[in-house]
Structures are given as structure tokens and as C-alpha cells.
Amino acid sequence: MKTLQKLRENSQQWEKYWRREEVIETIRRFFKDNGFHEVEVPLLLPTVSTEPFLEVFRTELTNDQGKKWPAFLPSSPEFALKKLLSAGSGSIFTITKSFRNGEGRSSRHNPEFTILEWYTTPGDYWTVAGQFEQLMLQINRGKDKLRYQGKEYSLKTPWQRLSVAEAFTKYAGVEVESMLDEAKLKEIGKQKGYLVTAKTTWEEIWNQIFANEIEPKLGQTGPTILYDYPTAQAALAKKAKDPRFAERWELYLAGMELGNCFSELTDYREQETRCKADLAERKKLGKTEYPMDREFIEALKLGMPPTGGIAVGVDRLVALFTDVLAVSETLFFPVEELFDKRNTI
Amino acid sequence: MTQIKANQLKRDMFVLYKNAPHMVLKCEFYFPGKGSAFARTRLKNVKTGNVYDYTYKSSESVEVVEVETTELQYLYQDGTTYHFMNPQTFEQHEVAEWVFDGKEKFLLPEAKMFFHSYEGEIIGVRFPPKVTVKVIEAASAVAGNSVNAPKKTVKIENGVEVLVPLFVKQGETIIVDTTTGEYVSRA
């Protein structure tokens, strides 16, 4: 049954959508009360951020003279926000749409999704963690208990903080030296029964161990902040004290990955190197190609203040607070209802 | 044996996992923060009924188990075993309750459906997504609950309770979705 029909037949169905409205309103109020400015970012861009594994939507901008420009829909508002930070905006946030193409069926993804990003300056990833803790309590109407899919979770602060290195040792029995070493990790992967071939990369086996053995253990009674990722897993984050790691954390709760936070990389040379490497990787993977965003690098060159920043999937957050399993249930027009599977080209 | 890529896995397929046949209960695309794609599956061992979560690299090859598919007719229930017959050969088959995954309550007398078997054992069913059933017990419209949810609970043939719109009367036949247990329409 389509969402519209459900809404027509059962007025109780509206409740979760009005809760969605409330969640978004609370987010807005929280940041405005805490001295942030809300900004808008473009959704039609000549080039977009360089994550090698994300596929983008490509279109064309045309004018009345028949001139054409390649144009893209962004997979996150990150570059635009960082340009504003470099220009001196101070702490900012946006609630906007972002797009990811070429993804498979999943209850946790919609190709068009609502994303919250906030950047706090001066600050780092721990400043953001404290803000996220307060924000979640406020969305939960000040209560620290949350029921989701029949299970109770505690949002009581401070949330559990667990480093990636600790998590690998604790849940997968992999010591940090082996975790960071491609040959050793592949050998361990093989022993654990994962398919490891000559083509298997460190990133693949790292993520497979993570997905099978570690992630199911995170955020089971309350939020888990999993922090300090191997540098290869954090293209836009500042290096941590231990230079093998970068200052990145992800928030896990109730089987969901809710946010991805960095102490933002502000060194333009390092950023340029990583963007180039990402674009080369995109080419290798056969993903849509586009030029590097020079304006972004130039902005960093002029100086970006020390900043902690985070991306949060608003649709997942709403799913959590409306107690539904799939993000499509929080949308009036989920993609599978808009695009009939019989109408493929 | 056929091999497919993990990203082609679909619900209700049968695959070999740790050398045992498993049914795919769920398969979702999974994209860790910054990384390549994975296929996150829930697999049911078709011999024991035990359920496992396993995440494949989406490019990984998975062995598909060839199953036989036969149409059988429902005879009777004996505890947690359900007896069916092949209407062509009159051969009888026993089906364990877990195979129905909760849908057994919608088994109607003489219902026909397709079963999958592996090495002679029934390991899966293509349960009809909708069944047409008779309402055997229905109170007339309950007042006071009509603002938010104009629905009432009725009892259908095998004693199952279903939430239906107020206009449904006792003795009518209705169509019920066997996956969600929800009312679809009048038959």
C-alpha cells in the first residue's frame, strides 16, 4: 500500500510525520540557541566532493544560447560549508538534501536524503560529541530513556566512548599492529573464514571484520562513540596524536550509524593531496569523473579555523525517534514508490 | 553449482554458507562510512532453522543451492509438523513449522502452494502473499474509536484476528496479506 493511501485510510499514520517535523524543528532551535547560524547551500554544482566510493547524480545546466555545463547533485554539503567557514562565518549548520546514486536496496538509505551538518569553531571532534549528546536529549523531549523496536536504550551522558583500536581487540581479537597491516589483516581474515583473494584490499577486509564482528556489538544499550579511525578511513579528518589514526568518530545506536564526525582537516596541501588521490581512485573504480573543487582548496589556503564538524542522517534519526525500522517509513514519498521497478530504461 | 555476486542476492534465495544450505531472509546493501559496498544478509540454516547475520563483500561470489520446487496440498497439522500431499503422486510430505515463518496461521484446508526441497527435505515455501478468508466473528461497528482509527478486530476462519474497516460484516470474505497480517480488501 502506498504511503498516501495509508495516510488517507488511517489518520494515526500522520503522527510519525508530525514527529519528523518536531525533530527537525528541535534541531533548528538547538543550534540557534547555541549561537550557530543556519546557512543554505547549493544543490546544483559544477563539481562535488571527492569520496571515491560514492556515486553522484550527473545532469546538465543549459542556457538559452544552447551552452551547456556539466552539473552534479552533491553527496554532502561539506565543501560549501567549509568554504563559508574559511570566509569567516563562525559556527554554522544546515539541514539540506543530499544525493547518492548507484546504491542497492536498503532500509537505511534513500537516494535523496535529508542531512544535518554542523561545524563548531573553535572546536574539535570532542566539542561536537558534547553537542550531539545534548541535541539527542533535547530531541527525546528531555528524557534519557528511549524505546526503539521493543528495546530500551539510555541516552544518559556521557555516552560510551570506544576507540577503533580497542574495539578491534575487544570484539574481533585483532591487535592494533595487525589491524593496520594489510598482509597481517588479510591473513587474519583468511583464518576467520572470510574470502580473501589477491584482489582483496585492506579496506575491504577491515570493513568486513568490522561489519561482522564489531558493529553488531556497538550501541546496544545506549549510544557508542567509536573514535580514532585509521587515517586511510578518514580522508577529511585531522591526524590524531598517534599519527596512524585520524580524529574521526562515528555514532552507533540501535544498529544504526547515525553520524560521522571529524576534527576537520584544515591544511590545504594535505587536503589537495587527498582530493587528488580520491579522484584517481574514482577513476580506477569507474565512478563518474569531475574536476577537483579548486575553490575549496583556495578557501582552505586562506585559512580555515580549527573546526569540529559532523554529518548526521536526519531520516535515520527520525526513524529512531518514531520507532520505525525503515527510513522509507519516515518519508511521504519514498523512492520505491516514486520509481516503479517496471519502468526502468 | 551456480555462483553469483553477493550484491545479486535476494530474499528467498538458497545459498551455501559455511558448507550448509541457507535461505536468504534479508539482504541489504551496506555502505560503511568511507568504503566499498557490502551486502548485509540474514541467513537461515534450512536444516536447523538457526539464523545468522553475515556481511559479504558485494563483489564476493556466493554459491547458489539448486533446489527442487513442487506444488503440494495441505492435509493436516500434527503439533509443529504440517502434513502435505503431492496431488500428482499422492506422496505425503512433512513440513516443519519454522518453514512457514509465522504464516502457518493462514494455512487453509486443502490450500496449494509451492515448496522448495533440498536432498529430499522441505526447506522453504512460496506462501501465497494474499489469502481469501471468511470472517466468522465480527461485532457491529464499535463506537468511540472512529476518529483516529476507523477499524475493528474480527476473527477469520482459523481463529486469527485481523484489523478491518468498520463496514466489514460477519460472513463476508476478505483478502488478507499473509506477510503483514493486514486486511487488504473485500473479496
Per domain, the residue ranges of chain A are 3-155+293-338
Percent of chain B at pLDDT exceeding 70? 93
Picking from B18, B35, B64, the residue at the C-terminal end of a domain is: B64
- Chain B residues whose CB is inside 8 A of the A228 CB are none
Q: Would you say A114 and A314 are in contact if contact means Cβ atoms under 8 Å apart?
A: yes
pLDDT of residue A17: 97
The residue with cell 548526521 is A312
Q: Among all chains, which residue has been given the C-alpha cell 519454522?
A: B98
Residue at which a domain ends, from B64, B92, B112: B64
Predicted pLDDT of residue A343: 83
CA distance A117 to A49: 14
Rounded CA separation B29/A100 (Å):
13
Give me the phi and psi of A54, to 5 degrees please.
Answer: -95, 130
> How many Cα atoms occupy the beta-carbon half-sphere of A122 within 13 Å?
2
Q: What is the pLDDT of residue A264?
A: 94
Question: For residue B63, how many other CB atoms are within 10 A of its CB?
Answer: 15
Hey, of B5, B30, B34, B56, which one would you mutate to test binding to chain A, going by the most A CBs within 10 A of its CB? B34
pLDDT, residue B149, reads 59
For residue B142, pLDDT over 70 is answered with no
Chain B residues in contact with A260 by the CB 8 A cut-off are 33
Nearest to B148 among A12, A210, A233 (CB): A12
Contact check, Cβ <8 Å, A208/B57: yes
Q: How many domains does chain B have?
A: 3
The amino acid present at A337, given as its one-letter code, is: E
pLDDT value, residue A232:
85
pLDDT of B144 over the 60 cut: no
CATH node for A3-155+293-338: 3.30.930.10
CA nearest neighbour of B137 among B158, B156, B114, B152: B156
Using the beta-carbon criterion (under 8 Å), do A207 and B35 form an inter-chain contact? yes
CA distance B28 to B55: 9
* pLDDT for the residue numbered A218: 97
**Predicted confidence (pLDDT) per residue in A194-204, tens digit:** 999 998 999 99
For residue A214, the distance in angstroms to the closest alpha carbon of chain B comes to 12
* A200/B39 touch (CB, cutoff 8 Å), yes or no: no
* CATH, residue B7: 2.30.30.30
Instruction: Give the residue ranges of DSSP H helices in chain A.
Output: 3-9, 14-33, 78-86, 125-139, 164-172, 176-180, 182-191, 202-209, 268-285, 294-302, 314-321, 335-338
Residues B96, B52: one domain?
Answer: no
Tell me whether residues B57 and A203 touch, CB distance under 8 A. no
Q: What is the pTM of this model?
A: 0.85
pLDDT at B34: 67
Distance CA A265, CA A338 (A): 38
The answer to whether the beta carbons of residues A237 and A248 sit under 8 Å apart is yes
| Residue the block writes with cell 588479510 | A186
Residue B148 clears pLDDT 60, i.e. is over it: no
**Mean pLDDT, residues B75-93:** 93
CA–CA dist B150, A302 (Å, integer) = 62
Which residues of chain B make contact with A206, given a CB cutoff of 8 A? Answer: 35
Give me A288's grid cell.
563518474
- The partner residues of A256 in beta bridges, in order of sequence, read A253
Window 62-121 of B, Cβ < 8 Å to A: none
Contact B36 A211 (CB under 8 A): no
- Whether residue B57 sits in one domain with residue B13: yes
Residue A121 is predicted with a pLDDT of 96
The maximal CA–CA distance of chain A, rounded, in angstroms, is: 63
Where chain A has pLDDT below 50, the residues are none
Number of residue pairs across A and B with CB atoms under 8 Å? Answer: 73
Q: Which of B28, B34, B60 sits opposite A105 (nearest CB)?
A: B28
Domain boundary among B16, B44, B64: B64
B53 and B8 in a single domain? The answer is yes
As for the ipTM of the complex, it is 0.82
Please give the pLDDT value at position B151: 81
Tens digits of per-residue pLDDT, A241-279?
999 999 999 999 998 999 999 999 999 999 999 899 999
- DSSP bridge pairs for B93: B84
The verdict on B52 and B7 lying in the same domain is yes
**Which pLDDT does position B143 carry in this prediction?**
56
Range of the domain at B50: 2-64
